[in-house]
Amino acid sequence: MTKKGIKRIAGKFGGIKNLILILLAALWLLTLLVDTLVAGRIFTPLGYLYLALGIVFLIYVAWPLYTSRRLVGYYWQRVKVNRLAVVGLVFILFLILLALIGPLFTPDPTAANFEEKNTPPVGLSIEESIYNAETGQFVTKVVNGTWGHPLGTDNKGRDLLAMIISGAGVSLQVGLLATGIAVALGTFIGVASAYLGGKVDNILMRFTDIMMTFPFFLLLVFIVFIFGPSLAFIVLVIGLTGWTGVARLIRSETLSLRTREFISAAKALGASDGRIILAHLIPNVVSLIVVIATLSIPGVILAEAALSFIGLGDPAVTSWGMVLRAGQQSLDTTWWVAVAPGVMLFFTVLAFNFVGDGLRDAFDPRSSV
Amino acid sequence: MKRTLYVLLLAIIYWYVAGFSLLLFHSPGVVYQSNEEAPKPAKEAGGVFISGTSAGDAETLNWILAADSASFGYVGHTVDSLVTYDNEWRVQLRTAAKDVEVSEDGLVYTVTIRDDLRWSDGSKVTAEDYVYTLRNLMFSSWLNYPYQGDWQEEVGGKTVFVTPGVVNETTFNITRQTVDPEFIYTVRNLIPYPKYIAVKYEGDVKAFTQAPEFNNLTYTGNLGPYKFKEWVRNDKFVVERNPDYYLGKDNGAPYFEQYIIKLFGTSATAHAALEARDITYTGIDPDKVSKFKKMAGINVYTVPTTGYLLLAYNQRGNGWEGLKIKEVRQALSLAISKELIIEQVLYGFGDPAFSFIPKVSPWYLDKDMTKYGVKPLLDKGKAKELLLNAGYAVKTADGSIEVRSKGGKPLTLTLVTNAGNDERENVGYLVKEELGAIGINVELKFVPWATLLGKYLKNKVPDTDQEPGYNNGVGAVSEEPWDLMVMGFSTNPLSPSGQDVFYATKGGLNFPGFSNPQVDELFKRIKSAEALDEKAQKDLYAELSQLVSEEQPVDFLAFQLANVGFQKKVKGIEPGINMGYNYHLWYFE
Amino acid sequence: MGKAWLRDYIIRRLFYAVIIAWGILTITFILVRVGPTSPADKYLANLAARGEEPAQVIAAIEARYGLDKPIHEQYFSYIGNLVRGDWGWSFSTSMPVVKLIETHWIYSFQLILFSTILAALIGILIGMYSAVRQYSKTDYIATFFSFIGISIPNFWLGVMLILLFSVKLGLFKTYYDTGIPLLSLANLKQLILPVITLSTGMMAGYTRYTRSAMLDNLRKDFVRTARAKGLPERVVIGKHVFRNAVLPLVTIIMFDLGSIVFGGAYLTEIVFGIPGLGRISFNAIFADDYAVVVAVTLISAFLILLINLATDIAYAYLDPRIRYD
């Protein structure tokens, strides 16, 4: 396989980047097929989604960033100036670290320990009463928070801190994956539809209409029955229901962009449709994409909570949504169970938002950073 | 002076005439065997009683179409059954003039209804209405009454309906060909449809389903304490006081202007509503009881229920083969502490169960029952010994017993229950803990209800295209393998023999696949002429309880206690298993 | 103005809408009928308590509602009735489907309408202010609050509001009273807490999108021109900048309004006891009441399609540069 030979093959596919993309995609598909047919478990369903998104990210985000390192350095300088964005970034990195290393220092989040149920966080105390059927009286004892369970426990005695840390990993994954699917699909279809217009717009938009009206919830009930509940299905369903909104939003923005002078200028210079879309249109809708993405993440996590609420969630996985659901019944007594994930969610959303703001400001050529 | 005398004379004549006419119309033939206290002095009716619930809404007011219990509950406010029971199971007459009479041979049931019952158009409610409801509606093939099974019997291998017949205007009888000592409970629950309206829809199930008279309960006359007012689906069911109520003639009952059933989406919001005094009554979750007991204006009553939690043992082909052995099941039950479960899961609101008959049942007899799961039959050491004897453990060098599967590997069992039911999930965790202490590893699997039904309960003989059912015989297995399942059942305390659906070999809901010919035999005898004698029936039930407590088809865990909260201003409540029986006498202070 | 092409466009879209709606109807029908749940499943507990044989009861129920007929027969008879205006009978609530939807849609609608209006108004105003004073203290406070809004789950916030304002302070009733006439002040009062609960979640979107779109435009040349012309800042922002930023907001507003039938307010309805379409459709799904499920899905499909069409037309009017052809 000489360098020239590779280049020739690559040329047939439209470039080395496309060749690698197709090779990786084929590999992914092959592994998936083998997994389903032979029923081995090379990767979990969630793992496959990760890989797919990872491939897309690699080819369309990481590679361009790598090849234009200088540009990346320039943008990073602009982002660095925005202190809040950096704080947000640090928090996100901290969350990732927490999700990776935290489980090593905390007890198993699924370990139920009924003796220690309903313990409040450290420093607080609560009364617990057990009824004695023989005497008809209550036996009351005071339960104090301990450092053994710094954030307290839920009604099954599971350590809340452990659940939050485990949930960080899961919710981040779910949030990023589902948002990734929705945003990637939605942006692609929205921009292509608006820019290419005419028949393509018609077909793509009717397809979006069908997806918007499709009874995904029913499908989820059906799928959960056949295959059992799994986080991957939830991610897929949330992502697939979400992209239509993104597509319409991006399309509306692109519609007004495509009639602008800089687009007609690029066209006049002979730029191909693909290049116009990738190099000119998408960067201009980046700010919208960033906002959509930051707002979607909490929405996704809450959607996952709602689905667990109804009973379609994956009971084997501890996510913030699951903790929220566990805590909602006793908000007036063991309130800490619902407050902890809510607070974490809030800070996560805030962090993503600040990072998004920073990115948007950095990309906007007109802002004086 | 003359005027006053004149008025006084008129008054005396009036009362005399009134009293005389009352005597005339008060037929001496009607005997009231009520155990009620003397009717309370007439009160001023007033106030709106709001009952909060977070269980689901009813399906229909056309009760003959309903299979859910909420529908019967709603209709029950507007139409009384023949009799009801107080907390000690004493018969309380309602639309019946006297209790249902059973002939010596147990084959003929005679019902006499009151003669002062009227439909809404003023016409008399007669025996003909009851017989028509039975024969033309409940037994018909065009209407498909879901509970036809209650009125059928096996004669010569065929399933036939019992035979109702009119005797006179207020009397009808039901004739059987086989004896069923518990049939009387079914008869006592009868409520009638008005024949003069039903004939209009006879034969046309669609018209009957949509009949406005039946869907709006416009026919109920004086048959119930309340009259239907409105039903906003998923929101509230409203009935208003029926001034003509036949039981309210002397005392003016009921004493609430309106009775509303308000539906809540979660129990948390129902609790909040009671706390804010926006509703009068609701059920209280076990972990909130102490909080409500402390509230100044609220009374919380703890009452027994007929629901029980259990751990099912899969005795079919796809479960652990050890579960087919009685001693192994006993061993597991020896290791699981019922009091621990009651304390940790039910917050103390439970009664350890050893058979399916609750303490509140008149047939409950404690004697000679094997009480696994409580001391002294709560012994993890003994459990391991039993397992050793059955071949599922080995003795190690230092003399301790290690539980193993037949192949010598550590034993792992799968426990399934439905996700989302906190109580059952918690029991699952505790069972895992208890069995873990004797060396059995338990894997927990929480699945959605539909999956539980479809893949774990329903079974069929493998490699056939049999339609999956809840008990397709000995060779049938469920689609997914399982060993233990946490479930909740409910027993009819008056006729516990109905539990044969679970524990008889051919029982329609015997999904674990338990089979014991002695148990089957006892169930048969309880449903036969032998049990017509009350003492005999009690003995039979005692024998069945003993047998079942020893055989351990499932590990009976606990009968749950329920907690109900009322605003203090409600008077007349008698807490107990049937506390609603006198609700028409409750009033606000 | 030359919008003749718009008329043809609308007709074409309506035609597609009918086809798509019919397709969705068929898919939903199939999903519900071949789904794993059966109408008799939920009676299991009751049957068991009464000691009944489930097979017999299930057969009786299915026979009565025609659920044992082959599926294509059921499908065609359903379609046949549909075109004649008969949407079927809901056996899980014993009401005609039309009447069921008719009675309950208004509760969802008023909730979502008021929530959307409130969220949009406040959200957009905050967003605008936030953009103009980017990175100021007010900006941060506004960001802070809008994000609390979406990080707090509906059911959590709703229950907290009830516990605080209805139970502890006694200002409101703990549940929604359908007895109160819809067009009254009392009804508005009892909608306050549910609307606050629902709109806080929606508000963040309006705040962030407005801010972002405004920021995009604030730096454009035409703003400098307008300012140079001497126009008051209020006009510059309110008229010129905002106009250009409004397109994505239109999308969101329409989308939010259309979520009546999605059951988007489902959780809020549950918490406050509002018998809206969200609860009706969810209960129908789990009761296997196909008539209701298909009807609701069909209506929601039509609604979405119409709203998308309306949004597209709005774009064409708001931005004269846009054409669809």
Closest CA–CA distance from residue A1 to any residue of chain B (Å): 51
What digits encode the pLDDT tens for the residues B428-482? 999 999 999 999 999 999 888 888 888 999 999 988 888 888 899 888 999 999 9
Q: Which of C31, C37, C43, C52 to mutate to test the interface with B (most CBs of B within 10 A)?
A: C52
Most confident of A191-200, A349-358, B218-227, B387-396: B218-227
Closest CA–CA distance from residue B588 to any residue of chain A (Å): 27
Which pLDDT value is given to residue C52?
Answer: 76
Q: Is B351 on the interface with A (CB under 8 A)?
A: yes
Which pLDDT value is given to residue C2?
Answer: 55
Closest CA–CA distance from residue C184 to any residue of chain A (Å): 32
Q: Which residues of B are less than 8 Å from A115 in CB distance?
A: 344
Which pLDDT value is given to residue B43?
Answer: 67
Task: Give A180's pLDDT tier (boundaries 50, 70, 90).
Answer: confident
Q: Which residues of C are less than 8 Å from A366 in CB distance?
A: 219-220
- pTM beyond 0.90: no
Closest CA–CA distance from residue A75 to any residue of chain C (Å): 18
Which pLDDT value is given to residue B34?
Answer: 40
What digits encode the pLDDT tens for the residues C190-219? 999 999 999 988 888 888 888 878 887 777
> Does residue A144 sit in helix, strand or coil?
strand
The rounded mean pLDDT for chain B is 88
C199 neighbors C119 (Cβ within 8 angstroms):
yes
Which pLDDT value is given to residue B19?
Answer: 38
Euclidean distance between CA atoms B112 and B82, whole angstroms: 9
Task: Give B365's pLDDT tier (boundaries 50, 70, 90).
Answer: confident
Q: Which of A129, A309, A318, A334 to mutate to test the interface with B (most CBs of B within 10 A)?
A: A129
Euclidean distance between CA atoms A166 and A312, whole angstroms: 20
Cβ count within 10 A of residue C316:
18
ipTM reported for the complex, 2 dp: 0.87
Nearest residue in chain A measured CA to CA from C14: A206
Q: In chain C, how long is the greatest CA-to-CA distance?
A: 86
> In the predicted model, is pLDDT for residue B129 greater than 70?
yes
**Exposed, middle or buried by CB within 10 Å (0-12, 13-18, 19+), for A67?**
exposed
Euclidean distance between CA atoms B102 and B340, whole angstroms: 45
Closest CA–CA distance from residue C216 to any residue of chain A (Å): 8
B300 neighbors B350 (Cβ within 8 angstroms):
no
> In the predicted model, is pLDDT for residue A64 greater than 60?
yes
A41 compared with B422, residue with greater pLDDT: B422
> In the predicted model, is pLDDT for residue C36 greater than 90?
no
User: Which are the contacts of C209, defined by CB distance < 8 A and separation ≥ 6?
Assistant: A288, A291, C127, C248, C249, C252
Q: Is A111 on the interface with B (CB under 8 A)?
A: no
> In the predicted model, is pLDDT for residue A311 greater than 80?
no
Q: Distance of CA B249 to CAs B30, B254, B565, C151, C307, Å?
A: 15, 10, 30, 59, 60
Q: Which residues of A are less than 8 Å from B430 in CB distance?
A: 114
Q: Is B447 on the interface with A (CB under 8 A)?
A: yes
> In the predicted model, is pLDDT for residue B15 greater than 50?
no
Backbone angles phi, psi at C259, to 5 degrees: -80, 10
B264 neighbors B270 (Cβ within 8 angstroms):
yes
Best CA proximity match to B406, nearest among B386, B388, B427? B388
Nearest residue in chain C measured CA to CA from B451: C36
Which other chains touch chain A, taking contact as 3+ CB pairs less than 8 Å apart? B, C
> In the predicted model, is pLDDT for residue B163 greater than 90?
yes
Lowest mean pLDDT among A192-201, B170-179, B487-496: A192-201
> In the predicted model, is pLDDT for residue B326 greater than 70?
yes
> In the predicted model, is pLDDT for residue B55 greater than 90?
no
Whether residue B347 and residue A114 make contact (CB cut-off 8 A), yes or no, is: no
* Percentage of the residues of chain B whose pLDDT score is greater than 90: 69
Average pLDDT score over residue span A345-366: 77
Q: Which of C92, C94, C285, C292 to mutate to test the interface with B (most CBs of B within 10 A)?
A: C94
* Percentage of the residues of chain B whose pLDDT score is greater than 70: 93
Of the partner residues B59, B232, B490, the one whose CB lies closest to the CB of residue C49: B490
Indicate the helix (H) or strand (E) that contains B20.
Answer: helix B2-25
Q: Which of A81, A204, A205, A209 to mutate to test the interface with C (most CBs of C within 10 A)?
A: A209
Of the partner residues A206, A288, A298, the one whose CB lies closest to the CB of residue C248: A288
Whether residue B289 and residue A131 make contact (CB cut-off 8 A), yes or no, is: yes
Closest CA–CA distance from residue A215 to any residue of chain C (Å): 7
Euclidean distance between CA atoms B69 and B67, whole angstroms: 7
Whether residue B265 and residue C271 make contact (CB cut-off 8 A), yes or no, is: yes
Task: Give A262's pLDDT tier (boundaries 50, 70, 90).
Answer: confident
Euclidean distance between CA atoms C166 and C272, whole angstroms: 11
Task: Give B18's pLDDT tier (boundaries 50, 70, 90).
Answer: very low
What digits encode the pLDDT tens for the residues C39-61? 667 777 777 777 777 777 778 87
Q: Which residues of A are less than 8 Å from B350 in CB distance?
A: 133
C256 neighbors C116 (Cβ within 8 angstroms):
yes
C90 neighbors C284 (Cβ within 8 angstroms):
yes
B236 compared with C129, residue with greater pLDDT: B236
Beta bridge partner(s), residue B158: B155
Q: Which residues of C are less than 8 Å from B454 in CB distance?
A: 36
Which other chains touch chain C, taking contact as 3+ CB pairs less than 8 Å apart? A, B
Cis peptide preceding B496, ω within 30 of 0? no
Q: Which residues of A are less than 8 Å from C158 in CB distance?
A: none
> In the predicted model, is pLDDT for residue B30 greater than 60?
no
Q: Which residues of C are less than 8 Å from B358 in CB distance?
A: none
Q: Is B434 on the interface with A (CB under 8 A)?
A: no
The rounded mean pLDDT for chain A is 80
